[in-house]
């Protein structure tokens, strides 16, 4: 039998009614002739409740016990999903991570999958079981302790099972009906994409389009697992949702696939830093040690041996960044005239594999922003992405103007 | 190091604050030099929530999936307890049933313990761990599925660990401070017992004094595990609570240790039944098949080949009992003139191992009730218990009068 992996997130299994709805979707695929592996998250809100108890109990918790506690929500939904399928006369049973077994590293709370045993589940499929329901997000370490894969880890569980079992496709059911050209909440012309390349999805995911966990997309890309993102709240056809796939499977090649944004950014500039080797290492090691997630980095033109160093980070991390920088100045490891923080910026990016082969995307982006009177503060580029920092008040205008200019509202 | 087992029920671990309180008790025992095995229940209410979801999902559920779901509450409290102890600098870790391993039969939802592996936990104690926190109520079947031991099963888990590890004592922390001579809510003179024999505790437990799961008492009796019942909500001395132990360890020997009652009983009498062999088997097989929990059975003196058959059952089961009896009459398997149900009775019992060697307990009990003008409807006796059915309205009066007459308010 061909195998299909179907993953249901927390809102899709938030209560017994929603689990029934999800189980019906599984039944449809079983009726088509698939053996189905279902991956479930915990009921919406349950993992947060468990995390809350752990943090209340022990601010500097033992990650092994954290994992033992927070993994329990998935055990509940896995059992309930199996029961629901049985009620529909679909032969099903649940599996916890240690029963599969899903072996991981010992990096508790952020474990990586090392191996998925296929024998136990494969034998049950051979005996006539139609659906294996897997508690997502969890595995076991070489020491036999329960591990978890990090928040959103059930997406990664799903892709890993699809790779291990050679599944035809991995369908990720969520509360949105696919991947959009941009956020429909701030651009009403946003259009659902039928297909998107893994590389584009990776850029969009890391830019804050929280449809899929980044690691799951990386894993799918590496093992060529076809990923489909679709809504568990709508009737589905075979063509519903958005297929995330190798770029060879995408016919059309617009230069830009989507416009992403990140609202709460801040820009910090260190004025008049000595321009000599090793300075950047000192600055960014100190920021990393302080837990500051630095995103864009720009070094301005050097004059007379001094330079200005600019970087961006989430606005909430500015106090930590300032403290870390003050400390290295006090210690005499770095000299600068002043650190200027701009807390009112946002990042807007255009992403598309097409820009590899089509020139002029950057020029067009800058012209569009200029025509709207929007000043660009920082620019960074990658092979398939151009990002700019702008004043936050222009963010929605910028997204809408870029969406129009690159004609993202038009089907291919 | 000597080993102590401490079990905390759902109300004792209902939230992180209460878990902290329980952990402090554990810390006190560790400071005395014990290696401690802590057994935890799920937070109060959590197991009911999980059972509710299962029943909503699937009225005739697969018990294997039921067990996978309802066992998850204990995983949460085990992890939180381990974290709390670590915060107090007590070396601790949690263990789920499959990690111990705690092997059970395959009788899901009512599994019996077959074996507890002591190697893993013993090795950790040898390495300096001071507390092993065990998720109660759960184990694994020979097939590697999660099993549960039935409601209240954490008591049984605790006693089984005490037996497997040769623990010095098994302390059951609960929301009452011990076993009483009778229910303090209906008799203000009720007195906490310092000690009670296993046999007496078994009779009291089965009579509705829900302090301990009956199976845990049986197990403790078989393996000579000293059980102590005490409150997790009061400061404790070494002599707190009630010790449940072999009768040889009890010095005093009052004939009666306690007065128990069961409020919502009913009495059914089948009038004029043919008095021939096999009739009782027909009646009570039919009632058992109908799920009626028959308690007391009395057959009145036979006259002219006919007899009256009387039995008691919980008042809520009377409709089922009447339907079952009507069915066997309709089928021609049994003939009786009428079935009379009395829904307004209660059972009152006196229990004590002392009555084995001291005569006159029954006579005294009947005289006390007679002096109060209370009519006895049915009497049954065992070696260490005398039970009577009386009108429900006299139940509290009977308990108080018997408590006084046997001087249970007086310490030994």
Band the pLDDT of B83: cuts 50, 70, 90: very high
The pLDDT of residue A177? 85
| B54 contacts in chain A (CB < 8 Å) | 79-80, 83
A57 and B75 in contact by Cβ < 8 A? no
Rounded CA separation A43/A141 (Å): 24
| pLDDT of B236 | 67
Share of chain B above pLDDT 90, in %: 71
CA distance A21 to B25: 47
**Residue B146 in contact with partner chain A when CB distance is under 8 A:** yes
Q: Are A136 and A39 in contact (CB under 8 A)?
A: yes
Contacts of A54 in chain B (CB under 8 A): 79-80, 83
Is 70 exceeded by the pLDDT of residue A209? no
Specify the pLDDT at position B252.
66
Distance CA A222, CA A239 (A): 24
Contacts 24+ apart (CB under 8 A), B243-249: B243/B194, B243/B195, B243/B196, B244/B179, B244/B195, B244/B196, B244/B197, B244/B198, B244/B201, B244/B212, B244/B217, B244/B220, B245/B195, B245/B196, B245/B197, B245/B198, B246/B197, B246/B198, B246/B221, B247/B197, B247/B198, B247/B199, B247/B353, B249/B195
Least confident segment among B54-63, B234-243, B316-325, B368-377: B234-243
Q: Which two tokens stand for residue B130?
A: 């001071």
Residue A406 pLDDT exceeds 80: yes
Contacts of B79 in chain A (CB under 8 A): 54, 65-66, 68-69
* Confidence at residue B97, expressed as pLDDT on a 0 to 100 scale: 97
- Residue A244 — pLDDT band, cuts 50, 70, 90? very high
Residues in chain A, overall count: 412
Average of pLDDT values for A58-82? 95
pLDDT of res. B128? 96
Nearest to B129 by CA among B142, B120, B117: B120
Cross-chain Cβ contact B65/A50 below 8 Å? no
Q: Are A76 and B94 contacting, i.e. CB atoms less than 8 angstroms apart? A: no
pLDDT at position A412 over 70: no
Which residue of B53, B83, B146 is in closest CB contact with A58?
B83
Q: Does B49 touch chain A (CB under 8 A)?
A: no
Q: Is the pLDDT reported for residue A207 higher than 70?
A: no
Of B152, B154, B169, B146, residue with least CA distance to B7:
B154
Helix (H) or strand (E) holding B117: none
Count Cβ atoms within 10 A of the Cβ of residue B118 and give its class: 0-12 exposed, 13-18 middle, 19 or more buried. middle
Give B140→chain A minimum CA distance, Å. 11
Nearest chain B residue to A98, by CA:
B98
> Chain B closest CA to A28's CA: distance in Å?
19
Contact A50 B83 (CB under 8 A): no
Q: Exposed, middle or buried by CB within 10 Å (0-12, 13-18, 19+), for B239?
A: exposed
Give percent above pLDDT 70 in chain A: 96
**pLDDT at residue B175 in the model:** 82
- pLDDT at site B247: 86
Q: Are A33 and A63 in contact (CB under 8 A)?
A: no
Give backbone dihedrals phi and psi of A267, rounded to 5 degrees, phi first. Answer: -115, 130
- Kindly state the percentage of chain B with pLDDT values over 70: 96
> Dihedral through CA A15, CA A21, CA A25, CA A28, nearest 10?
130
User: Residue B301: pLDDT above 80?
Assistant: no
Is the pLDDT higher at B302 or at B155? B155
Residues A254 and A403: beta-carbon distance below 8 Å: no
Q: Per-residue pLDDT tens for B159-213?
A: 999 999 999 999 999 888 888 999 888 999 999 999 999 999 988 876 656 678 8
Give the residue among A256, A146, A145, A163 at the shortest CA–CA distance from A216. A163
The alpha carbon dihedral of A274, A278, A280, A284 has a sign of negative
Is the pLDDT score of A236 beyond 80? Answer: no
Task: From A40, A246, A64, A76, select the one nearest A157 (Cα to Cα).
Answer: A40
Q: Which CATH architecture has domain A3-247?
A: 3-Layer(aba) Sandwich (3.40)
State the sign of the Cα–Cα–Cα–Cα dihedral A11, A17, A20, A24: negative
* 8 A C-beta contact, residue A66 and residue A38: no
The band of A368, judged by pLDDT with boundaries at 50, 70 and 90, is: very high
CA A309 to chain centroid, in Å, comes to: 29
Q: Quick one: pLDDT band at residue A238, thresholds 50, 70, 90?
A: low
Would you give the distance in Å from CA B337 to the centre of its chain?
Answer: 38
Check CB contact under 8 Å for B68 and A144: no
Measure CA of the first residue to CA of the last residue in chain A; give whole Å: 35
Beta strands in A315-369 (DSSP E): 338-351
Q: What angle do CA A53, A57, A61 make, to 5 degrees?
A: 100
Q: Please name the residues in contact with A203: beta carbons below 8 A apart, sequence gap of 6 or more.
A: A260, A349, A351, A382, A384, A385
Task: Give the nearest partner residue to A62 out of B19, B83, B98, using CB atoms.
Answer: B83
Half-sphere exposure of residue A323: CA atoms within 13 angstroms, side-chain side: 10
Nearest to A182 by CA among A396, A382, A383, A353: A396
Element (H, E) at A242: strand A242-245
pLDDT of B34 above 80 = yes
For residue B107, pLDDT beyond 80: yes
Lowest mean pLDDT among A69-78, A275-284, B129-138: A275-284
Q: Can you give the pLDDT at residue B375?
A: 92
pLDDT given for residue B190 in this prediction: 92
CA distance B149 to A371: 72
pLDDT digit string, tens, across residues B368-392: 999 999 999 999 888 899 999 999 9
Distant-in-sequence, close-in-space partners of A185: CB < 8 Å, separation ≥ 6: none
| pLDDT for res B82 | 98
If residue A321 lies in a helix (H) or strand (E), which one and from where to where? helix A318-330
Four-CA torsion B61, B66, B67, B72, nearest 10 degrees: 180
Is the CB of residue B105 less than 8 Å from the CB of residue B112?
Answer: yes
Burial class (CB in 10 A: 0-12, 13-18, 19+), B130: buried
CB neighbour list of residue B64: distance below 8 Å, 6 or more residues apart: A93, B108, B145, B146
Rounded to the nearest integer, the mean pLDDT of chain B is 91
Give pLDDT, residue A208: 58
- pTM over 0.95, yes/no: no
- DSSP-derived 3-state class of residue B345: strand
Contact A16 B65 (CB under 8 A): no
Distance CA B291, CA B321 (A): 8
Instruction: At B31, list the tokens.
Output: 């400071």
The neighbouring-strand residues paired with A312 are A267
Q: Which chain B residues touch A86 with a CB distance below 8 Å?
A: 58, 62, 65
Cite the beta strand spans of B110-186 per DSSP E.
Answer: 113-116, 131-135, 138-140, 146-148, 169-174
Note the pLDDT of residue A326. Answer: 93
Structure confidence at residue B150 (pLDDT): 86
Mean pLDDT of A82-86: 98
Residue B94 near chain A (CB below 8 Å): yes
Q: What are the strands of the beta sheet with B3-8, ordered from one edge?
A: B92-95, B131-135, B35-40, B3-8, B169-174, B227-231, B242-245, B195-197
Is the pLDDT at B116 greater than 70? The verdict is yes
B303-351 pLDDT, tens digit per residue, is: 777 888 899 999 999 999 999 999 999 998 888 889 999 999 999 999 9
**Does A54 contact B at CB distance below 8 Å?**
yes
How would DSSP label each residue in B173-227? Answer: EESSSS-BSS-TTT-TT--B-SEEEHHHHHHHHHTT-TTS-HHHHHHHHHHT--E
Average pLDDT over residues A43-49: 94
Higher pLDDT: A2 or B151? It is A2
* Domain A259-405, CATH: 3.30.2130.10
pLDDT for A249: 84
Instruction: List chain A residues with CB under 8 Å of B145.
Output: 99
pLDDT, position A403: 96
Looking at residue B99, its pLDDT comes to 97
Backbone angles phi, psi at B189, to 5 degrees: -85, 0
What does the domain layout of chain A look like in residue ranges?
A: 3-247, 259-405
């Amino acid at each position: 039998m061909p195998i299909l992996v179907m993953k249901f997130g927390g809102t899709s299994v938030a209560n017994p009614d929603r689990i029934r709805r999800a189980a019906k979707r599984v039944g449809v695929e079983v009726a088509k002739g698939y053996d189905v592996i279902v991956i479930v998250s915990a009921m919406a809100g349950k993992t947060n409740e468990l995390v809350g108890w752990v943090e209340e109990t022990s601010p500097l918790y033992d990650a092994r016990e954290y994992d033992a506690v927070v993994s329990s929500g998935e055990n509940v939904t896995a059992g309930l999903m199996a029961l629901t399928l049985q009620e529909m006369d679909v032969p099903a049973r649940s599996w916890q991570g240690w029963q599969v077994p899903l072996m991981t590293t010992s990096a508790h709370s952020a474990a990586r999958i090392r191996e998925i045993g296929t024998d136990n589940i494969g034998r049950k499929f051979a005996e006539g079981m139609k659906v294996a329901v897997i508690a997502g997000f969890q595995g076991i370490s070489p020491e036999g302790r329960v591990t978890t894969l990090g928040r959103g880890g059930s997406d990664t569980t799903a892709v890993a099972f699809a790779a291990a079992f050679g599944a035809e496709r991995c369908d990720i059911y969520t509360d949105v009906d696919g991947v959009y050209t941009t956020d429909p909440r701030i651009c009403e012309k946003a259009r659902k994409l039928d297909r998107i390349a893994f590389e584009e999805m990776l850029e969009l995911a890391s830019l804050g389009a929280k449809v899929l966990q980044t690691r799951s997309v990386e894993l799918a890309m590496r093992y060529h697992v076809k990923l489909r993102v679709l809504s568990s709240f709508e009737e589905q056809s075979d063509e519903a949702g958005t297929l995330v796939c190798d770029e060879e499977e995408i016919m059309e090649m617009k230069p830009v696939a989507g416009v992403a944004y990140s609202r709460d950014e801040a820009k910090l500039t260190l004025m008049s830093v000595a321009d000599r080797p090793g300075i950047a290492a000192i600055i960014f090691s100190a920021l990393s040690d302080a837990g500051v997630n630095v995103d864009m980095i720009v070094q301005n033109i050097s004059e007379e041996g001094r330079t200005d160093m600019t970087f961006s980070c989430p606005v909430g991390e500015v106090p930590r960044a300032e403290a870390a920088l003050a400390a290295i100045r006090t210690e005499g490891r770095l000299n600068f005239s002043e650190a200027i923080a701009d807390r009112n910026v946002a990042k807007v990016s255009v992403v598309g594999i097409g820009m590899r082969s089509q020139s002029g995307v950057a020029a067009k982006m800058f012209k569009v922003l200029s025509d709207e009177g929007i000043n660009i503060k920082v620019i960074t580029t990658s092979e398939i992405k151009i990002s700019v920092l702008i004043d936050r008040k222009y963010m929605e205008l910028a997204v809408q103007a870029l969406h129009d200019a690159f004609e993202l509202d038009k089907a291919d």
